[in-house]
Each structure stands twice: as structure tokens, then as C-alpha cells.
Amino acid sequence: MLSKVLQKQTMMRKVLFSLIPIFLFGAYLYGLRLFFLVLVVFPLGIVCEAIFEKIKKKKITEAVLVTCSLYVLSMPPDVPLWVAGIGIVFGVVIGKEVFGGFGRNPFNPAVTGRLFVYITFPAFMTAGWIAGGNFGIDAVSAATPLSAAGGAGTPDLLSLAAGFRPGTIGESPVILILLAGIFLAATGTASWVIILSTLGSAALLTGIFDMAGVPGALATLPALMSGSIVFVAVFMATDPVSAPKNKPAQILYGMIIGSVAVLIRTFSPSFAEGTSFGVMIGNTFAMLLDEMTAKRKKKADT
């Protein structure tokens, strides 16, 4: 039945498989909040793609399930359902379908939707991070959990790595995300070059700012584990459609994402989390990076 509606995409199924532990961890932390978000986001995302694909007489891609999954996991747990709904519609329609659908979108649809509501409804996206009953606290009143960490001394690295902290639904379990990244890289689903260059550039620039005593800079390990950079590096930056295809371009692409994320996080008073902006800017230059590095390789070969 599903095969008649959905276009089978083995790579996307591997991504969905890798996200299962993160969803389960999110369900443990946030309970029904995650359940309600899924009930809103997935039907809206699938219906939006179905409408456009029906016009072209094509099937719905399984990629839309990945988009909806990553979008849900990138949301603050207390985000109003109507805000989440607007974001996924914008992400699928404007971030993907208006460009021709799967394989033609220059921007990651999940990031596109998240950035749209992040900029349009900042009060809902950057304040009042509900931690949930399993944290034993009600809420964190801060711009983001990352900015809260910046003013709270040195965080407990073990707790940060294990994921027992407030944040967007899917960003906190760093260990699970890294295990997913290893699985995706080992199966050829995600580029290990992009993952390492994104994390490496973010770590390097964070360390430089920390040693230089730049105001707002965090220590390297807390910065990497208390924000969404690991989640973005593994799942968002490695999107096979919107990322570059050759390795030299992927290195530069990851460096752009990691560096922009740290620059915005450190120097922007309004946007403590710059990872989505980093991915969007990286997407903008992905094709150009492929062109530049491909031409250089041809010259070297001749």
C-alpha cells in the first residue's frame, strides 16, 4: 500500500532508522509534547508535498519523512503547534517544492522551515525552553540553553553529553547523535568529511575566541555539547541534495557552516544559536564550491 504512494529511497530510510533512538530519548524527556508535534508536522508536510507531486504525477518521496523528522527534532519542546505547522509548510513548499521537488532544492527544507519561524516568531523560538517533568524543573528562562550555559560557569560535561538538559528536542543527546553519525558515515549515507570539517572548524574557532578572551565565547567542549552544532553537523549539513558533491568542496562547505555558526553565536545578541544560519549560508555556496573545486581538479589533472 505504502509503495503505491511513497517513492522508496534507501538512503532516506537509513537516516530515519538512525533517528529512532533520538526520538525515543526526546519522548522520554518531553513526553506528549513530542507526540503532539509529530501529529501536526508530519501530516502537514506530507500533504504539502503530495499536492505538488500529484500535479507532476509523481509519488511522495520518503525524503519528506526525513524533513519532518529533522524539523520536529529542531523545535523547542514548548513551541506552539501552530508555529510548528507554519514552519513545516514553509519548509516543504518554499524550501523544496517551488524549486521542483526532491533533488532540485538548493536549501535544506527542514532548516528553511526552522529559520522562517525562528525569524518570524522569535519570542516562541528563543525563550521559555520547557525542560519537562523528567528534568525536575519547569522551564529555563533564557535566550537559548546555549546562552544560559555561557553565564552559568562550566557545565557538567557528562550531563551535556548524555543529553539531560533543556534544548531543542533532538539536539541534547550528543552521544546518540554521534553514534548516528558513525552509522550514517559507515553506510555511505552521510559524508564524514562534512561532519568532521563542520565540527572541526567550530571547535577551532571557538577555542581561538576562548583563548583570546572574546566576550561571549564559551570553552570548546561545553560550546560543542550545549548547542545544536553536533546535531546540525550530522543530519542537516550532510543533506545529499543541498550539500556539495566532491570532497574539497565539502571541506570548505563544512568550514563555512561551523565558522558562521560560531561567529553568530558569539557576536550576535539576538541569535545565540547560529547553526541554522550556517547551514543556509553553506547551502548558498554549495554549487559554487563544487564548480570551483572541480575546475581546479581538472587543471591539476592536465
Element (H, E) at 145: helix 145-150
pLDDT at 141 over 70: no
pLDDT digits (tens, 9 = 90+) for 77-98: 989 999 999 999 999 999 999 9
Higher-pLDDT residue of 56, 15? 15
CA dist 84 and 265 (Å) reads: 23
Candidate from 133-147, 197-211, 274-288 with smallest mean pLDDT: 133-147
**Mean pLDDT, range 212-234, rounded to an integer:** 81
Q: Is the Cβ–Cβ distance between 41 and 88 less than 8 Å?
A: yes
Cell numbers standing for residue 107: 536549501
pLDDT at 72 over 60: yes
pLDDT at 131 over 90: no
* Burial track 54-66 (b if 16+ CB lie within 10 A, e otherwise): eeeeebbbbbbbb
Mean pLDDT of the chain: 85
Candidate from 100-109, 116-125, 231-240, 291-300 with smallest mean pLDDT: 291-300
CA dist 78 and 125 (Å) reads: 9
- Tell me the residue ranges of DSSP E strands in 23-163: 60-61, 129-130, 139-140
CA dist 95 and 88 (Å) reads: 10
CA dist 58 and 40 (Å) reads: 24
pLDDT at 299 over 90: no
pLDDT at 215 over 90: no
pLDDT at 186 over 50: yes
What percent of the chain has pLDDT above 70?
Answer: 83
Cα torsion angle, 138, 266, 116, 41, sign? negative
End-to-end Cα, the chain, rounded Å: 52
> What pTM, to 2 d.p., does this model score?
0.88
CA dist 30 and 252 (Å) reads: 36
pLDDT at 47 over 90: yes
The DSSP letter of residue 209 is H
C-alpha gyration radius of the chain: 19
pLDDT at 136 over 50: no
pLDDT category at 296 given cuts 50, 70, 90 is: low
What's the confidence (pLDDT) of residue 3? 56
The values of phi and psi at residue 187, to 5°, are -90, 5
